[in-house]
Amino acid sequence: LSEETDEAEAASGDTTIIHASQLPASETTAAKPAATAYRVKKEFHSVAEEAAEIIKQHWERIAREQQESQ
């Protein structure tokens, strides 16, 4: 950054910034679903509530595994 040049040569460490307006239509963010569309995170009101949910899910999984092994 200390030495800027107008030369067309690119050094191995150069980075090209491509703005969204320069991308083809198939690669824009509008063409891809949002990451949150796949997983909906439950909002907890407290750490205790979240811990209770984790413990409940754990015991449900244990019960399912025991039924499958019988």
For the chain, the structural domain boundaries read 40-70
Tokens of 21: 């307006």
What does 13-60 look like in DSSP terms, one character per residue? Answer: T------GGGS-GGGSGGGS--GGGT-PPPP-SSHHHHHHHHHHHHHH
How confident is the prediction along the chain (70 residues), in pLDDT tens digits per residue? 556 655 566 666 778 777 777 777 664 455 565 555 555 677 889 999 999 999 999 999 999 999 998 8
Instruction: Tell me if the pTM is above 0.85.
Output: no
**In terms of Cα–Cα distance, which of 26, 56, 21, 63 is closest to 42?**
56
Interatomic CA distance for residues 19 and 27, integer angstroms: 11
